Chain A
Amino acid sequence: MRIKTFFCLCAAALIFLSTSLSADMPRCAAAPQSWYDEFELLARVIMGEATGEPFLGMVAVGAVIVNRTRDPAFPPTIAGVIYDPDAFESVTNGLIWSTTPTDEMYRAAELALNGYDPTYGCTFFWNPYKPVSPWIWSRPIVTQIGNHVFAY
């Protein structure tokens, strides 16, 4: 009886500790697999950065990432741009692995990779209603789609 109670208490303590910890950590509904190509990565960043945005805003976020690969100031590959340290909040906080992109997000990624660029070559985007580095406001803004502004 004593031993049983002891283990119950221990188990309860462990469950409490582990759940309180995991609340702050991303849950991996789908861990990255080696076969994931750039298309999958792009769809996931679109999910992390543009959930709740209009479809065109999703395509625009994908287009910014594609545009960065052609800009000498950024890494030359989609994966390089996406995993550039601190480039995307959703990568830093693990949000891109929290769930699976919707069909709409996959289609947005397809269009962006196919060259569809509603931002006309922008390499930056941000939410103007959230606090951002003042430096970013020095970039020439080209358009606003949904809650994001897009700039060169």
Chain B
Amino acid sequence: MRTRRERWLLWALGAVTVLSLAFGLAQYRDARSARIRMQAAQQRALFNLVTHVENLEASLAKARASSSPGQQINFLTSGWLNCQAARSDLSLAGADGVDLSGPRRFVATVGDFALVLSQKLARGETVTPDEWAELARLEEGVKQLSGVLARTAQASITAPRPQRAGLQEMAASFTGSSQRAADSLNHGFSEIDQITQSIPTPVYDGPFSEKNLEAQALAQPGPLISQERAKEIALSFLTPGESFESVSVGTVEGSIPSYVVTAKRQDGSEVATTVAKQGGAVVMATDSAPRGAGAIGLDEARNKAMEFLKSKGFLSLEETGWRKRGADASRVVFAYVPHTEVSGPGGSTKVRLYPDTVKVEVSLDTGAIVSFDQMNYLMTHGHPGRVLRAPIVSPAAARSVLRPELKVESAEPRLCVIPILPTTEVMAWEFRVRSGNDTYLVYINAMTGKEQVVLQLIEDESGAMSV
């Protein structure tokens, strides 16, 4: 009997061993297969990167060689598209431990610069000799990058192949060949990083130009306030009179140095209010308390938001749109802009200031204000760099620029200031138009008469959104 039991145990042990081995082998195969796929994806990205950077170099060179603005637009746009593709490739082709933010920034800036030049040409403007020279300098950088990338791609092929993973890779590592190949790959990426860091950033006006990336806020009027004063302002802003379990104050530096006052309730929810150190304006505020289903309508919520704004001194804001939020649409965000007037020979005209948007979020259960954001307003409203002049282009002349098949919905276009870049804005006539079932906002530059921006308006029961 005992012998039988022992025999059983031996059988069981043998079976478990066989199963474990089979399972381990399957896992090993899966892991190897995953490594192969991962390395293949990385190499594909690397070789695609080489192709896209070579195409970029060719596109920039052809743009400089061409004398036709139409052809130049084609080549510059093609250059921008290759830059976009190269940015995606860079995300997947990187080597361990190498920071690729420099190459990414370089590629994005070259593409941005090419796009800005093509847009200039498309508007009928000319590219200056300095801009062509800047493009030639960037092209030289792209050429250097292309050479190193081609060498790095070759090095990636000589890197240890995933098929050798496991025992063979261990053996290779003893000889040092695996390490050498990996080192050459990392060296290639480090060299790429150094090249791109050494190329000066072009001076131009595009989304990625240094001027726009370092946009600074307008200095706020008023004296510096104390932390205690910031606390008082914060606690009387969104939920005046409410007592909290604890209140803490932190700071945030940057565009508008501020105090951040966080008031916690017993249930763990909090009201966080950011108060500018200079002047004490509330930059933004949010209340995280959980909210119930909607009990009030949109109009009531609109009235609550407007009452709130008036109580905070915003007397002449105009609503520009709303959108419901939350899985059960239990909140609604309203956007508001201020307006001003410009005087011209034909009298004064009201101008909407879109860059100065203020947002207010209302909970539809009680009508409580649950978030407020006037960061944009504080950054741009009253900025001395904003000089508003009477429009040169009349509404009728602006309307004549629209495609004739569009159905204009608004009787009169609206004059407005729209942001083009973080530090650039233009005055434009806004037309709400329809084409088939689609609605668009078309902006015609009020100074040049050229079409500036086209936005598609998506409207549904949750509100409006422009893309």
Q: Give me the interface of A with B, judged by CB distance under 8 Å.
A: 2, 5-6, 9-10, 13-14, 17, 21, 54-56, 59, 70-76, 80, 83-85, 103-104, 106-107, 110-111, 114-122, 135, 140-145, 152
B residues 232-273 in Cβ contact with A at 8 Å: 250-256, 260, 262, 269-270, 272
Q: How far is the CB of A143 from chain B (nearest CB, A)?
A: 4
CB <8 Å contact, B284 and A118: yes
Some 26 contacts from A to B, beta carbons below 8 A apart, are A6-B11, A10-B16, A13-B16, A14-B23, A54-B272, A55-B270, A72-B104, A72-B112, A74-B104, A75-B87, A75-B91, A76-B84, A85-B94, A104-B288, A104-B290, A111-B286, A111-B371, A114-B325, A114-B333, A114-B359, A114-B373, A116-B373, A118-B274, A119-B252, A120-B252, A143-B252
Per the 8 Å Cβ criterion, residues 97-114 of B in contact with A are 99, 101-102, 104-105, 108-109, 112
Given contacts A83-B91, A114-B359, A117-B375, 8 further A-B contacts (CB under 8 A): A5-B12, A10-B15, A14-B23, A56-B262, A74-B101, A84-B91, A143-B251, A144-B250
Whether A103 and B290, one on each chain, are in contact in the complex, defined by CB atoms closer than 8 angstroms, is yes
Q: How many residues of B contact A (CB 8 A)?
A: 52
Contacts of A6 in B (CB 8 A): 11-12, 15
Q: Is the CB of B326 within 8 A of A107?
A: yes
Residue B208, interface by CB 8 Å? yes
Report whether A75 and B88 are in contact in the complex, using a CB–CB cutoff of 8 Å: yes
Of the residues B256, B260, B373, contact of A56 by C-beta under 8 Å: B260
B92 at the binding interface (Cβ < 8 Å): yes
* Of listed A56, A72, A83, A107, residue having the most chain B CB within 10 A: A72
Q: Whole-angstrom distance between the alpha carbons of A59 and B375 in the complex?
A: 15
Known: A6-B12, A13-B20, A121-B254. A73 touches B105 (CB 8 A): yes
Q: Which residues of B contact A54 (CB under 8 A)?
A: 262, 270, 272
Q: Does B40 have its Cβ within 8 Å of any Cβ on chain A?
A: no
* Residues 127-160 of chain B, each 1 if its beta carbon lies under 8 Å from chain A, else 0: 0000000000000000000000000000000000
CB distance from B230 to the nearest CB of A (A): 14
Contact B272 A106 (CB under 8 A): no
Report chain A residues within 8 Å CB of B105.
72-73
Residues of chain B within 8 A (CB-CB) of A135 are: 99
- Which B residue's beta carbon lies closest to that of A5? B8
Q: Determine the distance from Cα of A2 to Cα of B290 in the docked complex, in whole angstroms.
A: 60
Chain B residues contacting A10 (CB-CB under 8 Å) are 15-16, 19
B359 interface neighbour in A13, A70, A115, Cβ under 8 Å: A115
CB-defined contacts of B112 to chain A, threshold 8 Å: 72
Q: A9-B15, A13-B15, A55-B270 are in contact. Are A106 and B333 (CB under 8 A)?
A: no
Measured between beta carbons, the chain B residues less than 8 angstroms from A14 are 19, 23
The CA-CA distance from A152 to B288 in the complex, in Å, is 26
**Whole-angstrom distance between the alpha carbons of A119 and B11 in the complex?**
64
Task: Give B108's nearest chain A residue, CB to CB.
Answer: A72
Residue of B at shortest CB range from A76? B87
Q: How far is the CA of A17 from the CA of B15 in the complex (A)?
A: 14
B411 near A: Cβ within 8 Å? no
Chain A residues near B373 (CB, 8 Å)? 114-116
In this assembly, does B327 line the interface, its C-beta being within 8 Å of a C-beta of chain A?
Answer: yes
User: Are A9 and B250 in contact, CB atoms less than 8 angstroms apart?
Assistant: no
Q: With a CB–CB cut-off of 8 A, which chain B residues contact A104?
A: 288, 290
- For A117, the chain B residues whose CB sits under 8 A away are 375
**Given known contacts A5-B8, A145-B260, is B109 in contact with A72 (CB within 8 Å)?**
yes
Of A55, A74, A110, A115, which one neighbours B272 at CB under 8 angstroms?
Answer: A55
Q: Is the CB of A73 within 8 A of B19?
A: no
B371 proximity list for chain A (CB < 8 A): 111, 116
CB contacts (< 8 Å) of B250 on chain A: these are 143-145
Nearest CB of A to B196, in Å? 11
Please, which residues of chain B bring their CB within 8 A of the CB of A9? 12, 15-16
Q: How far is the CA of A143 from the CA of B284 in the complex (A)?
A: 15
A120 to B375, CA, bound (A): 9
Residues in B neighbouring A75, C-beta threshold 8 A: 87-88, 91, 104
Using A56-B270, A80-B88, A85-B92 as known contacts, say yes or no to A143 and B333 having CB atoms under 8 A apart.
no
Min CB–CB distance A11 → chain B (angstroms)? 10
Interface residue from B15, B102, B327, B359 paired with A106 (Cβ < 8 Å): B327
Nearest Cβ on chain B to A47's Cβ, whole angstroms: 15
